[in-house]
Amino acid sequence: MNRALDWKIENPEVPTDHQLISVKMYDLNTPHIGHGRWAIPKFLLDDNNFFEKLEEVGQEILTSTHHVETNPQKNLNNFIDSTRVIAKHLEKIKVGKMNSTIKKLKNSKTKLLQKVNTNNEEETTHANETANLITQKIQEIEKVRFKRNQTVARVNWCLKGELINKYWCAKGKEKKGRDMIMELQKLNSQTYTTDSKEMANEMAAYHEEIQKADLALTGNPRTATISETLKDLPHINDDESTSLSEELTYSEIEQALKCSPNNKAPGLNRIPTEVYKTLHKRHIKNSKNNKPSFDVIKLLKAAYNDIENNGITEKSLLEGWLCQIYKKKDC
């Protein structure tokens, strides 16, 4: 019992007249695990207001004199940062209304029960009746959310449940638990860490050290090895070399974007490819109707070619995430 914390009596999402008692059991030997990385919620991908705000920011970046004179990589980085800020703001507005109402009701119920005088039977009875009314109100709000999720699940099953697609494959897969790395030995040390962030940093340092191995070798052995290895590799002709040295074109980036898989968010910015695809589709539609539009391909093209010609100036575009994976056979 000394490791049992966070006792709660909550209303389950499934419609019922019972309440759910929950408790967290802590194992002091388990590693610390955070809340995970934030990502743009899927419901924003269908929000017209979200894309309108992105288009406003994008148009300002492409047309403003200040932004035109700025490094193209900086412009792309500013657009990415603005996208994250807008997404988080709209997420709080959309999700926060229902959650804040439930939170206020729970707080008022807790305060009511804390202030009641248990020696006064009449006051206790009145407080319990009021608390029951608050509980019923919370259940009504959560039932609305449950029914909405239930409706979405039914619609998805009707549309995708009997077709061979990603949704159908995911439904048929067994949900297996993930193996966890309980502890990791620190680099050049006999001590261990159970903190997930420290584990990631240790793995990053380990791989950095591997990449630097043998770099100090000089002279003929290293040069001879490189020359021998290059002989066995395929070589490109002059035409191919000329083609590779040219800057990226608008159509090449457009084609790459079309071929990019959905439900993927490259980089730490957690912006899925659907955002760029939707912005491009809206640009094509608005251009045909002679309406002001934001050309996201133009923004990407300027940044990519600047990287190719001048190298990376915005270090945040290079940031990645190292995830250590537990393998049973390696132990």
Is the pLDDT at 331 greater than 60? The verdict is no
CB 296 within 8 A of CB 283: yes
Max mean pLDDT range (188-192, 274-278, 290-294): 274-278
Q: State the average pLDDT over residues 44-59.
A: 92
- DSSP lists the bridge partners of residue 32 as 195
> What per-residue confidence (pLDDT) applies to 220?
64
What pLDDT, on a 0 to 100 scale, did the predictor assign at position 249?
A: 93
Expressed as residue numbers, the domain containing 325 is 184-216+243-330
Q: How far is CA 199 from CA 191, 203, 205, 220, in A?
A: 12, 6, 10, 39
Looking at residues 60-84, what average pLDDT do you find?
A: 83
Q: What whole-number percentage of the chain has pLDDT above 90?
A: 23
Q: What's the number of CA atoms in the CB half-sphere (13 Å) around residue 17? A: 0
328 pLDDT above the threshold of 70: no
Residue 85 has what pLDDT?
Answer: 94
**Range with the largest mean pLDDT of 86-100, 232-246, 287-301, 308-322:** 287-301
Round the average pLDDT of the chain to a whole number and report it. 83
DSSP 8-state code for residue 229:
H
What's the CA gap between 257 and 224, in Å, rounded? 41
Q: What is the pLDDT of residues 183-218, one digit of tens each?
A: 888 888 888 888 878 888 888 888 888 877 766 656
Name the DSSP letter for residue 20.
E
Of the pLDDT bands very low, low, confident and very high (cuts 50, 70, 90), residue 327 is low
- Contact by Cβ (8 Å): 322, 268: no
- The reported pLDDT for the residue numbered 133 is 87
Read off the tokens for 73: 């990589």
* Residue 68: predicted pLDDT: 59
Asked if residue 48 has pLDDT above 60, the reply is: yes
In a domain, 128, yes or no: yes
Within this chain, do residues 23 and 95 fall inside the same structural domain, yes or no?
Answer: yes
- Residue 24 sits in the same domain as residue 114: yes
Alpha-carbon distance values, 279 to 88, 214, 294, 302 (Å):
18, 46, 8, 17
CA distance 200 to 196: 6
- How much is the pLDDT for 330? 55
207 in any annotated domain: yes
- Radius of gyration, alpha carbons of the chain: 28
Is 301 in contact with 248 (CB distance < 8 Å)? yes
Whether 79 and 299 have beta carbons less than 8 Å apart is answered as yes
What's the start-to-end Cα distance of the chain, in Å? Answer: 33
Question: Domain count of the chain?
Answer: 2
Q: In this structure, is residue 233 part of a structural domain? A: no
pLDDT band (50, 70, 90) for residue 145: confident
- pLDDT-derived band at 297, boundaries 50, 70, 90: very high
Residue 18 lies in a domain: yes
Half-sphere exposure of 306 (CA within 13 A, CB side): 18
Same domain (yes/no): 41, 145:
yes
Q: Residue 10: is its pLDDT beyond 80? A: no
Please give the pLDDT value at position 57. Answer: 93
Q: What are phi and psi of 62, to 5 degrees?
A: -80, -25
User: Above 80 in pLDDT, residue 324?
Assistant: no
Residues counted in the chain: 331
State the average pLDDT over residues 289-305: 92
Choose the final residue of a domain: 120, 148, 172: 172
The answer, yes or no, to whether residue 155 has pLDDT greater than 70, is: yes
Whether residue 282 sits in one domain with residue 206: yes
172, 206, 225: which is the final residue of a domain?
172
Please report the DSSP string for 97-117 in residue order.
HHHHHHHHHHHHHHHHHHH--
User: Under a CB-based contact definition with an 8 Å cutoff, are residues 71 and 313 in contact?
Assistant: yes
